[in-house]
Structure 1
Amino acid sequence: MRIAFLTWRDTTHPDGGGSEVFVEAVGRELARRGHHVTLLCARHPGSARREERDGVHLRRSGGRLTVYLRGLAWLVRHRREVDVVVDVVNGLPFASPLVRRRGVVALVHHVHAEQWRIIYPGLAGRIGWFVESRIVPLLYRARPFLTVSDASARDLAAIGVDPAAITVVRNGLALAPPEEVPSKAPAPRLAVLSRLVPHKQIEHAFVVLRRLEGELPDLHLDVIGDGWWHGELEAAAESEGVADRVTFHGHVSDVRRDELVGRAWLMVMPSVKEGWCLAITEAGAQGTPSVAYASAGGVTESIHDRETGRLVADLDEMVDVVRELLGDEVQRRALGVAARELAASLTWEACALRAEEVLRGAGAPGDQSP
């Protein structure tokens, strides 16, 4: 098949995250299976307009918003060269059904009700949520949807997407867990692996650190990742009085990422919403269990509560559970072992095979104009 992914960003974008990893990993596996894969996304400083990576042809054009118009224009120009389009709806859709009758699949990691309110707490957020919750179900009706968790599938059904049109394809893992569990730091250490954006609520990890400082004066937090909220988070760490016990590592290599989460005793994931949360799987591969909010959607599947990690109701319970696990090495190690086993069962190959079935069903060669 000739497959085109339309996505806001790629993994080299400063704001790239788990959604972009998913798209490129699936695209790479599809290319390895003989499909011609093109990924159209926005440009960013220092990026090339054209690039081939792991068999995927990257085409960068436009910016944060203009990439959507550029994507549609590209589809019109290349309509005879594409069998199926994967339209990545990351809050806003590319609206590819406007220029194609057939061969469209919508990929939604999660719906963004909370994010619209947090990032755009005014008219812009209300408009964004209206587009996502009202326009998307209408625009993509009768088209197949891919998503990464049962929780996201339920959220899509709640805004009007036909449940029969939704297929769940769970995230994979780039590298198998190491043969031996990495050595943990001698002193208690927490990690947050995330893009630095408001809806990840990383400030909650600073509160955990502050509330436990009297009992665990050596407790340290590693913040791994970067994003446009970095400055605000540094200020929040200062405000909570824990800046001297927080290290902001920024973007790091995969090797360094695994080293940092592998040394951590626990990962804290206070995000308000996740489709799956690849970071939890990546930490689990290093034998590090995670603590996350049960209300955050897909984390209820990337974490098996009390087996591979813990799910909590609110910040107070997060503090209590982190305290409990830091003081219970036996329980913590058992969770870490189970988290490694779960991570080892997840592969991008299996994810791509499932996605390929949906794409084959949607693909229709020939003229795709409306």
Structure 2
Amino acid sequence: MPAPTADRRRICLLMWRDTDHPDGGGSEVYVEHMARWLAARGHDVTVVCAAHAAAPADELRDGVRFRRRGGRLTVYLHGLAYLLGRGRRTDVVVDVANGVPFFTPLVRRRGLRTLVHHVHREQWQIIFPGLRGSIGWWIESRVAPVVYRRVPYMTVSEASRADLGRLGVAPERIRIVHNGIDVPHPSALRARSATPRVCVLGRLVPHKQVEHALETVASLRHAIPDLRLDVVGDGWWSAPLRDAAERAGVDDLVTFHGHVSDRERDALLDSAWLLLVPSVKEGWGIVIMEAAARGVPALAYAHAGGVTEAIVDGETGVLVADRPALTAETARLLTDTEARLAMGKAARERAQDFGWTASCAAFERWVLQGE
């Protein structure tokens, strides 16, 4: 536990959803780790996010006060209303921009920070094809940089900082604090599966492109006997993915585990030979480091943003250009035991440098100082 601080502040984190939300993912894991650290340091911490059936409207957990109001869009109005009402005496507000920010500069000027995991150019048209996606990208790429022109930024990778720079955010205004993992890891490694298994870990949404993993397994089923795929996670794209597995003729090779506990996740990673991360874009890719901590190398797309920093290409995993290359490299590593084990060992060693303690301490400095 971190030592308490004498510089106690009232801190509010505005975010679209929390980790209990059905669509919660890596961004929410990051923010809640930071919130717990801040609370343990003695700060008064409130998280304002959307309401959902899996959690109460108001909750105190690990010293963090959760205030859940509104839905997918109205949460933004509730967040601003909180700052104008009960939260008006807040010292620092962290505006977590998940595509669309809360536009906090419209209601206050002091103590503002904005956290952007990655920009969403590609995701807008995948999730909202046509006019709605174009409007969303216009808000994120044109409107937000102007509204937040005097606000300090934080992101999680050099790739995301570069993307923000292309939107007009000055690089010197952007602080980088990587995602973390539990170091040392609380559970011991279990035995690897005797037969080849690959794993996909994360939210089941279209831009994660889990279909590419299904197609990879379909392409390799005859070349690599006993190959299996574990899909770990849940989301609103689950049913279409199950249909896609059936159409690809691999429903007998794929297990959809849904949402699992951390212990179950670790057990599934321990059995895996490789992690596939075919996402369109990631700010960092916390799942890559979670797998690395279990000695599992990852494969991801070289154009997918922060994954190019989470993976050391050719050492802790492989970055590929497209789906055929993803299939080819998966086949190579599944059949080249020496290369795969060497990458897994290097990944596990590197993961030890990405503990939450250093990340949380850096996050706190940014919250308090804005730099």
Matched, 1:155 2:163: yes
Q: Who is 1:288 aligned against?
A: 296
Question: Aligned partners of 1:326, 1:177: CA distance in 2, in Å?
Answer: 26
Q: Who is 2:62 aligned against?
A: 54
Q: Who is 1:93 aligned against?
A: 101
**Unpaired stretches in structure 1, ≥5 consecutive residues:** 364-370
Q: Who is 1:3 aligned against?
A: 11
Q: Who is 1:186 aligned against?
A: 194
Question: Aligned partners of 2:184, 2:259: CA distance in 1, in Å?
Answer: 21
SS in 2 for 1:154: helix
Matched, 1:325 2:333: yes
User: Alpha-carbon deviation of 1:217?
Assistant: 2.4
Q: Who is 2:5 aligned against?
A: none
Give the AA of the match of 1:174: D
SS in 1 for 2:180: coil
SS in 1 for 2:94: strand
Question: Aligned partners of 2:88, 2:277: CA distance in 1, in Å?
Answer: 44
Compute the RMSD of aligned alpha carbons. 1.2
Q: Who is 1:366 aligned against?
A: none
Question: Aligned partners of 1:244, 1:43: CA distance in 2, in Å?
Answer: 37
TM-score in terms of structure 2 length: 0.96
Question: Aligned partners of 1:82, 1:352: CA distance in 2, in Å?
Answer: 20
Whether the 8 Å contact between 2:50 and 2:72 is mirrored in structure 1 is: yes
Question: How many residue pairs were aligned?
Answer: 363
Q: Who is 2:150 aligned against?
A: 142
- For residue 277 of structure 1, the aligned residue among 282, 285, 306 is 285
Map 1:194-213 → 2, pairs under 5 A: 194-213=202-221
Give the AA of the match of 1:65: L
- For residue 174 of structure 2, the aligned residue among 166, 169, 177 is 166
Whether the 8 Å contact between 2:182 and 2:356 is mirrored in structure 1 is: yes
Q: Who is 2:366 aligned against?
A: 358
Q: Who is 2:264 aligned against?
A: 256
Whether the 8 Å contact between 1:5 and 1:40 is mirrored in structure 2 is: yes
Q: Who is 1:30 aligned against?
A: 38
Question: Aligned partners of 1:253, 1:98: CA distance in 2, in Å?
Answer: 39
**CA shift digits 1:303-348 (9 cap, x unpaired):** 1111111110001111111111001111111111111112211122
Whether the 8 Å contact between 2:183 and 2:354 is mirrored in structure 1 is: no
**CA shift digits 1:131-178 (9 cap, x unpaired):** 000011001002100100000000000011111110000001135336
User: Alpha-carbon deviation of 1:55?
Assistant: 1.3
User: Alpha-carbon deviation of 1:356?
Assistant: 1.5
TM-score in terms of structure 1 length: 0.96
Runs ≥4 in structure 1, deviation > 4 angstroms? none
Matched, 1:246 2:250: no
Question: Aligned partners of 1:362, 1:233: CA distance in 2, in Å?
Answer: 42
| Worse-superposed segment, 116-125 or 349-358 | 349-358
Question: Aligned partners of 1:219, 1:207: CA distance in 2, in Å?
Answer: 13
User: Alpha-carbon deviation of 1:179?
Assistant: 7.5
Whether the 8 Å contact between 1:308 and 1:336 is mirrored in structure 2 is: yes
SS in 1 for 2:60: strand
Of all paired residues, the percent bearing the same amino acid is 55
Whether the 8 Å contact between 1:268 and 1:291 is mirrored in structure 2 is: yes
Give the AA of the match of 1:39: V
**CA shift digits 1:186-227 (9 cap, x unpaired):** 100000001000000000001110111111121000000000
User: Alpha-carbon deviation of 1:248?
Assistant: 0.1
User: Alpha-carbon deviation of 1:245?
Assistant: 0.3
Give the 3 Å change call, closer, same or farther, for CA 179–194 of structure 1 in structure 2. closer
User: Alpha-carbon deviation of 1:355?
Assistant: 1.4
SS in 2 for 1:204: helix
Whether the 8 Å contact between 1:197 and 1:227 is mirrored in structure 2 is: yes
Q: Who is 1:176 aligned against?
A: 184
Q: Who is 1:236 aligned against?
A: 244
User: Alpha-carbon deviation of 1:102?
Assistant: 1.3
- For residue 305 of structure 2, the aligned residue among 294, 297, 302 is 297
User: Alpha-carbon deviation of 1:180?
Assistant: 5.1
Matched, 1:73 2:81: yes
Give the 3 Å change call, closer, same or farther, for CA 180–46 of structure 1 in structure 2. closer
Matched, 1:344 2:348: no
Matched, 1:129 2:143: no
Question: Aligned partners of 1:292, 1:80: CA distance in 2, in Å?
Answer: 43
